[in-house]
Chain A
């Protein structure tokens, strides 16, 4: 039987790699490396990576609430210096099982038989998973960047469905779940560049307490005002928290001056 052996939360700011202000990114890159080391220590064989589309994969003609790649995976489609591109090893059997279990529980996954991921999944995969493909990727997208957004409660509950699916999968995979989303950031808006450290601390405190309700209870208006449109990605964090279940440990927090995002990195403990 497969099992979830760990979980992680991380940001995916592309400016870390584009670096237009030429600021030393090494503290941020070290956080990705620290997570990569933990993935290896956990002897993971698969990673469910939960990202947010940025109007790159999904266009105005179809905006899914939740989508999963059940076949070929490749990317990231958006080129970033220092982030490899190309085929990504997937695990179609496990991905399809997660989808099937979800459908049985009332989660209407959209499925991609071929999925080209953007940086929200590409950065975690390329910076935190072994380059040899020994940890397969199951890509998951939740609507957090473009309206209509998935409800935070729904994102958290979906994490529970992912956990139940992994635990009923016939394979012997050791699975980590990665929630890829930023803390405070205003993408494309006039406030872009603002980082709200108090808001970020509040989010990370809730992660450390293992308190998803504190995040689920935040209204979108409150998040938009205090954390920006990019902080709607707490949905990605909540989904991972729902899958893994335990209190977290902050690995790093970097309000990195070269970018526009409060960059948070944490490891999730397993539920007791």
Chain B
């Protein structure tokens, strides 16, 4: 999942394809269906609970929703149990 997230957050062409056709982009990363669902749905609390780096979860949110969307991110992750470095 971190490889997919890294590509989406740092490579503009991948990001554009992800926004337009997320399932097609994610199909190339060997993800399990629940993992793919988390990424497709921008399910950032579940991604954090799964141990994904919070640098990538916030990066994903800001890339897709825009840099002004921080308040919405904070609301979305408020029920997460944790995360890691």
Interface residues of A (CB under 8 A from B): 15, 18, 20-21, 54-56, 59-61, 145-147, 149, 187-190, 192-193, 220, 224, 229, 232, 260
Task: Considering the complex, give the chain A residue whose CB is closest to the CB of B47.
Answer: A188
Contact with A along B15-37 (1 / 0, CB 8 A): 00000000000000000000000
Check B85–A190 contact: CB distance below 8 A: no
Determine whether B77 belongs to the interface, using a CB cutoff of 8 Å to chain A: yes
Task: Considering the complex, give the chain A residue whose CB is closest to the CB of B71.
Answer: A20
B-chain residues with CB within 8 Å of residue A61 when the two chains form the complex: 3
A-chain residues with CB within 8 Å of residue B53 when the two chains form the complex: 55, 146-147, 188
A20-B70, A55-B55 as given contacts; A188 in contact with B48, CB under 8 Å: yes
A-chain residues with CB within 8 Å of residue B58 when the two chains form the complex: 187-188, 192
* Residues 39 to 83 of chain B near chain A (Cβ within 8 Å): 45, 48, 53-59, 67-71, 73-74, 77-80, 82-83
A-chain residues with CB within 8 Å of residue B7 when the two chains form the complex: 59
A55-B53, A60-B6, A190-B79 as given contacts; A15 in contact with B70, CB under 8 Å: yes
Check B54–A229 contact: CB distance below 8 A: yes
Task: Considering the complex, give the chain A residue whose CB is closest to the CB of B54.
Answer: A188
Check B83–A189 contact: CB distance below 8 A: yes
A15-B70, A18-B68, A59-B3 as given contacts; A190 in contact with B84, CB under 8 Å: no
Q: How far is the CA of A260 from the CA of B58 in the complex (A)?
A: 13
Q: How far is the CA of A177 from the CA of B55 in the complex (A)?
A: 26
Check B77–A188 contact: CB distance below 8 A: yes
A-chain residues with CB within 8 Å of residue B9 when the two chains form the complex: 55-56
Q: Which 10 A-B pairs have the closest CB atoms?
A: A188-B54, A188-B58, A55-B55, A59-B6, A189-B83, A20-B68, A229-B85, A190-B80, A60-B2, A18-B67
Interface residues of B (CB under 8 A from A): 2-3, 6-7, 9-10, 45, 48, 53-59, 67-71, 73-74, 77-80, 82-85
Q: How far is the CA of A215 from the CA of B34 in the complex (A)?
A: 41
Q: List 23 A-B contacts (CB under 8 A).
A: A18-B67, A20-B69, A55-B6, A55-B53, A55-B55, A55-B59, A56-B9, A59-B7, A59-B10, A60-B2, A61-B3, A146-B53, A187-B55, A188-B53, A188-B56, A188-B58, A189-B48, A189-B77, A189-B80, A229-B54, A229-B83, A229-B85, A232-B85
Check B85–A54 contact: CB distance below 8 A: no
Check B71–A188 contact: CB distance below 8 A: no
Q: How far is the CA of A7 from the CA of B54 in the complex (A)?
A: 30
Known: A18-B68, A20-B68, A147-B85. 20 other contacts (CB 8 A): A15-B70, A55-B9, A59-B6, A59-B10, A60-B2, A60-B3, A60-B6, A145-B55, A145-B85, A146-B53, A146-B85, A188-B55, A188-B57, A188-B59, A189-B80, A189-B83, A190-B79, A190-B82, A192-B58, A192-B74
Check B77–A190 contact: CB distance below 8 A: yes
Check A147–B84 contact: CB distance below 8 A: yes
How distant is A188 from chain B, measured CB to nearest CB, in Å? Answer: 3
Check A55–B82 contact: CB distance below 8 A: no
Q: How far is the CA of A64 from the CA of B19 in the complex (A)?
A: 30
A-chain residues with CB within 8 Å of residue B3 when the two chains form the complex: 59-61
